[in-house]
Structure 1
Amino acid sequence: MTRKELKKIHVVQKIGDGHLTNSEGALTLGISVRQIIRLKNKYKAEGESGIAHKNRGRKPIHALKEDIKERAAELYTAKYQGSNSCHFAELLQEHENMELSRSSVRRILLAKGLKQAKQRRQTKTHQPRQRRAQAGMLWQIDATSYAWLEEHTPAFSLHAAIDDATGTVVGAVFRPNECREGYSIVMQQGIQKYGIPLSLYSDRHTIFRSPHEKLTVEQELAGETKPLSHFGKAMAELHIEHIKATTPQAKGRVERLWLTLQDRLVIELRLLGITSMEEANVALPRLIAKHNKQFAVAPRSSESAYMKLRDNVQLDHIFTIRELRTLGSGHTLSYAGTVYTFAEPSPQRFDAKSVVEVRQTLSGDVFIWHRGQALQLKKTERPKPEQKKKASSAQPRKPANDHPWKTTHDNNITKRNTKPSTFQDKINSQHNDYLEASW
């Protein structure tokens, strides 16, 4: 019996012996007088067993059957390994037609030794920030590298942006690594579907900011503006306020999104039998729509803060690489080792040595951006300089007898026909020749 039940027996006995009244006993146990009378009657009729709970030692009628527990544990090991308790309960209902609560699933996995209770680390507390009131007021964007397809492929990066007011994932794409192209695709997805947000929250990666962003006091006094990265220039052209966070907690909405997707998306991709990043990108929109349906919330204000994208604005012309080039003779320019010229006669006049802005899209198209218009370019061949014929090497010539090299000695003097037999004879012969030449 429990200590509470033992206390009830002790108080009822005191009342029966006349040491306590019904009112005093009720006050001691914190129950009504009528309940005290019921306890006295049970004690008189059944003794101490009448005070004990009648369901003690009996299996509850609503308890799960053992075969259901075994089936759930078998499915977790075979198909849903690694999913958390909440996601596992959802998958059982969606794919196996088994309705189990999250707490029941957790107890089954703990009892079978398939999962261990997590020990929460004590982390540094941060002041929570209230969500923005309207959808489109703020997006948070980031990327994370993870083994999304487990052992099938190496880890690759998921780029995504989430709306702060609703928690809706507005765009997502897989890329081999964190890159400007991935962030540009995510922004294009979200803008085309929802509209242009008022502001964007990101980290301080060099994709988002220039390494020379900080200006000196002299530069600020001279009126110089901060240099922007290619992505930053796109944000400025769309009039999106770009905020760069100094800590991960500042953009906690997208950081918590990674915990959810790393826990759930891996299982979903495994169930679909996906084994490559290309296949994962095809299935990703449907999985993100499923995520938004379950986790997105309604904003505090029904008004939308999104700006409408004008019909004459092409996002492919905005999310580009931008560099300055000087036009050469014949309206040609060199870019990335290739010579380009206008694909069609330019409607605008360019002076010689004009400096123009060259943009390259995500698909590799190159064009000149001038006064809000895209002037298409085409590749042209650089004229090759004429190659001069190399002179062949001269044939060796034997000097004539009257050449200065041969006039050092008198060639008319008759040489001795006899060869010196000894080294001393050879020396004497050379000495005689020298004397003869001196005369």
Structure 2
Amino acid sequence: MIVMDSKAQLTVDIIAKVAEHKMTIVNAAKLLNKSRRTIERYLQQYLKVGIQFVVHRNTGKAPVNKTPDSLKRQVQALIKEKYFDVNLLHLAELLEVNEHILVKRETLRSWAHNIHHVKRAKRRRAKARKRRERMESPGLLLQMDGSPHRWFGDKKSCLIAMIDDATSEVHAEFFPSETTVGCLKVMRDCIESKGLFKALYVDRAGIFGGPKRCNFSQMQRACEELGIEIIFANSPQGKGRVERAFNTFQDRLVPELRLNNIKDMASANAYLKHVFIPQFWQSQIQVKAKDRASEFTPLPTHINLDDICVIKEHRKIRNDHTFSYGNKLYLIDSPLKYSIANQKIEVRNTSKKGFTAYFAARRLQVSEVVETSKFDTEELEIQKKLDVLALAEKLGNISEASRLSGVSRDTIYRHLKLVKEGGADALKRQETPNLRHKNCVDLDVEKTVINFSLEHPHLGQQKVALQLNARYGLDISPNGVRGIWLREKMNTTALRVEKSLSLLKTA
């Protein structure tokens, strides 16, 4: 059976007419848009094999360069199970490096489309923006930002990055969140490795100053001391270099951290600095600047980054040369010729070394002031009891001491007895479970209330009191029921249900 389309059917009809001498070869060539030689070849084949000439001889045969189906199934299984969050370009690289499978781009794209597993970028209608050319030399402008994301493990962390606008050279590190300390550390690492740069391009977040911090922040102060100018972007697209860098990091770094089973921050930072940036970023993303002359300047010898890349705050000195910091009181121990009361000192806080205090660029020796602790609650209660006993001894009349202090005579007699037997320590509250107050209900009544409440945990205190009075003739008030519930920690329906279930399990 020969299946032909409309084009093949037209070719057969015209060649048949040529064979029957109803049409010339010249006209057939014009109708089929073929050369005379092709029509003659078609005619020879038609006279030899009939209408089968129109069917190509390779029809139904597998191409010589066809990729095996087993390889296709293997790659699709790897996409579903292992590389499900990787884009196509990254997928081709990982297959070649990790699985030693080399597949052409279009073949891999068609295989991924067949299983509906293609990672697509989020697209939205964008505004028309004017293109800004890169800076001509490295070190003229660096962009900085942080990207909170679930980079590794189950918790979110923040990747703080700085990228050179001229070359796309990147300096980055993971932190628990986007903080001033993290930004200062990344900037310090960049300065130590490359040198001082001219300007820093950032957004209007509070960390970098701007209107949210009344045009002051620790980052802004550090940049001013280093001679670095801060430029605030009016939109994310203004610092698009670092924004697009985060897209690349999220697209490539997250799958690689997962494939290498990295779930802690130390390992993630090590992989980022020693593997990802040197092997991928520097070879495929980083570019050469138009002007090879670097604008990075060496750090002057008189500048100490330990004194600049820290959190600096100011505290006012009290008249006794003390100041408060971190909810603690500190005393200045350094020998001073004159008083510095009411003056402000500079407190430099580092996360590893604690803090140091400076006045007029001179480091001060400080020590923590340990204040005397006040009496605790139990000691106050004992002191009150002893004061009442002292009042009774002074007046020589227990009744008068009871009237003046508001303590009953029975309590005063009991405290006197305890002091005679064991001294002042005997006045401490004794936690004895067997000691019951004289106003407590009988143990049998309490057990009945507990058992009935556990059998009917959804009844309230008033209904429980009514039911006990009707069934067992117990004269107990709703407040008495609630008092028993509070002592037994079963004052809510959930607690009573939980306690009844635990009793059933133990039984």
Q: 1:341 to 1:38 in 2, by over 3 A?
A: farther
Aligned to 2:243: 255
Task: Work out the CA distance in 2 between the residues paired with 1:91 and 1:375.
Answer: 55
288, 297, 301: which one aligns with 2:277: 288
Aligned to 1:164: 165
Aligned to 1:43: 42
Aligned to 1:89: 92
Amino acid at match of 2:235: T
CA RMSD of aligned residues (A): 4.0
Provide the secondary structure at the position in 2 that maps to 1:144: strand
Provide the secondary structure at the position in 1 that maps to 2:252: helix
Amino acid at match of 2:145: D
Amino acid at match of 1:318: I
Shift, 1:10, TM fit: 11
Provide the secondary structure at the position in 1 that maps to 2:242: helix
Aligned to 2:113: 110
Provide the secondary structure at the position in 1 that maps to 2:208: coil
Aligned to 2:420: none
Tell me, yes or no, if the aligned pair for 2:317 and 2:341 is still in contact at 8 Å. Answer: yes
Q: 1:228 to 1:116 in 2, by over 3 A?
A: closer
Aligned to 1:177: 177
1:235 paired with 2:223, answer: yes
Decide which moves more: 6-15 or 374-383: 6-15
Q: Deviations over 1:340-383 (max 9, x none)?
A: 4668768x987454322222124253224556x56264433356
Tell me, yes or no, if the aligned pair for 1:157 and 1:177 is still in contact at 8 Å. Answer: yes
Structure 1 spans left out of the alignment, 5+ residues: 30-34, 215-226, 400-439
Task: Work out the CA distance in 1 between the residues paired with 2:94 and 2:82.
Answer: 10
User: Counterparts in 2 of 1:27-38, with a 5 A limit?
Assistant: 36-38=35-37
Aligned to 2:434: none
Decide which moves more: 36-45 or 180-189: 36-45
1:133 paired with 2:136, answer: yes
Tell me, yes or no, if the aligned pair for 2:202 and 2:231 is still in contact at 8 Å. Answer: yes
Tell me, yes or no, if the aligned pair for 2:25 and 2:36 is still in contact at 8 Å. Answer: no
Task: Work out the CA distance in 2 between the residues paired with 1:129 and 1:10.
Answer: 63
Aligned to 1:197: 197
User: Counterparts in 2 of 1:304-343, with a 5 A limit?
Assistant: 304-328=294-318, 332-340=322-330
Tell me, yes or no, if the aligned pair for 2:92 and 2:102 is still in contact at 8 Å. Answer: yes
Shift, 1:231, TM fit: 1.3
Shift, 1:89, TM fit: 0.9
Aligned to 2:209: 209
Q: 1:163 to 1:41 in 2, by over 3 A?
A: farther
Decide which moves more: 191-200 or 7-16: 7-16
Amino acid at match of 2:301: D
Structure 2 spans left out of the alignment, 5+ residues: 376-382, 398-507
Provide the secondary structure at the position in 2 that maps to 1:189: helix
Tell me, yes or no, if the aligned pair for 2:84 and 2:117 is still in contact at 8 Å. Answer: no
Q: Between Structure 1 and Structure 2, which shows a larger proportion of helix residues?
A: 2
Provide the secondary structure at the position in 2 that maps to 1:207: helix
Shift, 1:117, TM fit: 6.5
Tell me, yes or no, if the aligned pair for 1:134 and 1:300 is still in contact at 8 Å. Answer: yes
Decide which moves more: 138-147 or 337-346: 337-346
Task: Work out the CA distance in 1 between the residues paired with 2:14 and 2:188.
Answer: 75
Amino acid at match of 1:279: S
Q: Deviations over 1:68-111 (max 9, x none)?
A: 21221222233222111111111111111222233322221222
Task: Work out the CA distance in 2 between the residues paired with 1:114 and 1:315.
Answer: 49
Q: 1:361 to 1:97 in 2, by over 3 A?
A: same
Tell me, yes or no, if the aligned pair for 1:342 and 1:375 is still in contact at 8 Å. Answer: no
Tell me, yes or no, if the aligned pair for 1:84 and 1:263 is still in contact at 8 Å. Answer: yes
1:66 paired with 2:69, answer: yes
Task: Work out the CA distance in 2 between the residues paired with 1:2 and 1:322.
Answer: 82
Shift, 1:257, TM fit: 1.6
Task: Work out the CA distance in 2 between the residues paired with 1:105 and 1:362.
Answer: 49
Task: Work out the CA distance in 1 between the residues paired with 2:191 and 2:6.
Answer: 65
Task: Work out the CA distance in 1 between the residues paired with 2:86 and 2:374.
Answer: 70
Aligned to 2:343: 354
Task: Work out the CA distance in 2 between the residues paired with 1:135 and 1:15.
Answer: 76
Provide the secondary structure at the position in 1 that maps to 2:35: helix
Q: 1:17 to 1:146 in 2, by over 3 A?
A: same
Task: Work out the CA distance in 1 between the residues paired with 2:11 and 2:290.
Answer: 52
Q: Deviations over 1:406-436 (max 9, x none)?
A: xxxxxxxxxxxxxxxxxxxxxxxxxxxxxxx
Provide the secondary structure at the position in 1 that maps to 2:106: helix
Q: 1:19 to 1:75 in 2, by over 3 A?
A: closer
Tell me, yes or no, if the aligned pair for 1:367 and 1:374 is still in contact at 8 Å. Answer: no
1:380 paired with 2:371, answer: no
Q: 1:210 to 1:74 in 2, by over 3 A?
A: same
Task: Work out the CA distance in 2 between the residues paired with 1:364 and 1:3.
Answer: 85
Q: Which has the higher contact order (CA 8 A, sep 6+)?
A: 1
Shift, 1:5, TM fit: 8.7
Q: 1:135 to 1:345 in 2, by over 3 A?
A: farther
Q: 1:76 to 1:238 in 2, by over 3 A?
A: same
Tell me, yes or no, if the aligned pair for 2:25 and 2:39 is still in contact at 8 Å. Answer: no
Tell me, yes or no, if the aligned pair for 2:143 and 2:165 is still in contact at 8 Å. Answer: yes
Aligned to 1:188: 188
TM-score, structure 2 as length reference: 0.62
292, 298, 304: which one aligns with 1:302: 292
User: Counterparts in 2 of 1:141-152, with a 5 A limit?
Assistant: 141-149=144-152, 152=153
1:154 paired with 2:155, answer: yes
Shift, 1:206, TM fit: 0.8
Amino acid at match of 1:174: F
